[in-house]
Amino acid sequence: MADLTARDSFAGTAAASSASDDATMRRMRRRGGASRLGWLIPTLYILFLMLPIYWLVNMSFKTNAEILGPITFLPAEPTLRNYAVIFTDPSWYKGYINSIIYVVMNTVISVAVALPAAYAFSRYRFLGDKHLFFWLLTNRMAPPAVFALPFFQLYSAFGLIDTHIAVALAHCLFNVPLAVWILEGFMSGVPKEIDETAYIDGYSFPRFFVKIFMPLIASGIGVAAFFCFMFSWVELLIARTLTTTDAKPIAAIMTRTVSASGLDWGVLAAAGVLTIIPGALVIWFVRNYIAKGFALGRV
C-alpha cells in the first residue's frame, strides 16, 4: 500500500510539471538512475560469462600436446583436426542430427498442443481449471531423476526405446506445461473484444484462431517455441536414459567418448563448442522478445 501511494504521488507531480530537464531524464532512464560507472557491472558480468567459453573455444583449436603442455592463451599452432574428427566420423555427427531431430519434434508437438489449451485457460473458466493449471505446473517442477527409471520401462513396453519420438514425447513432460504457461501469459494480453468482434463478423473458431489470433500472439508462439527448444536441447538425463545408439544425443556421445578414448580433450572441446552454436543462433532470432519471454509473458 505504501508503495502505491508513493508511486501515485510521483506520478501526480510528473503530470503537474512535465517540462523538465530532458537530458538528465534520458540519462536516468538509460541507466535506470544508476551512477556513471553503471555500465561496468554488466560488462564485468559478461566478461565472467565469456571466460570459460573462451577457454573452451581456445582449447578446441589446439592439439592435445599443446593442451596438456604449458598454458597458452591463444593456440600456438591452430588446428582444425578436432573439428575434422567430428565432421568425418558418423558416430559423432549423427549425435547432432539426433539431437536436432528430437528437439524439433518436441518443439512442434509441445506448441501445437499447448496453443488450444492456453486459449482455454486464458479465455474460459471451466470445471477444475485452476487445479489443472497447477497440476501442469508441478510437472515442470518435477525432478527428471524421479522419472528416468519408469520412463525407461514405459517406453520399453511400447517398443520405443532408442527412437527420436520417445525422447520428444518424454520431454513434453516439462515443455508442454511451460508452453501453456508462456502462451497463456501472452494470450491474456490480447483483449477479449477481438475474439467477440471476429465471432460477430462470422468467423468460425478455427478460422479466427489461425487467421486472426495466431498472428496477434506470433511473438508469444516464437518465445514458447524458443523455450521448448532450449529445455529439450539442454536436457540430458532423460534423453540418455531413453536412447542407446540410433537416437543418442550429442551430449551423451560426448560423455561416453571422454571415458572411452582416454580423454581426447581437443575433440571434447570442439564437440562442446558445436553444441553452443545452435543455441546462440536461436537466441539471435528471438532477442527482441527474450526478456518478456523469460518473464513468461507476464510483466
Q: Give DSSP secondary structure letters for 51-109.
A: HHHHHHHHHHTS-HHHHHSS--SS-SS---HHHHHHHH-HHHHHHHHHHHHHHHHHHHH
Shortest approach of another protein to residue 162 CB, angstroms? 17
| CB-CB contact of 169 with 108 (8 Å) | no
Q: Is 17 helix (H, G, I), strand (E, B) or coil?
A: coil
**From CA 77, how far away is CA 63, in angstroms rounded?**
8
Q: What does the alpha-carbon distance between residue 122 and residue 260 come to, in Å, rounded to a whole number?
A: 51
Smallest distance from the beta carbon of 218 to another protein, in angstroms?
18
Smaller CB distance to another protein: residue 80 or 145? 145
The CA-based angle 101-103-105, given to 5 degrees, is 70
**Least distance from C-beta 274 to another protein, angstroms?**
10
**Minimum CB separation from another protein for residue 33, in Å?**
5
Residue 264 Cβ, how far from another protein at the closest point, in Å?
A: 12
Amino acid at 84: A
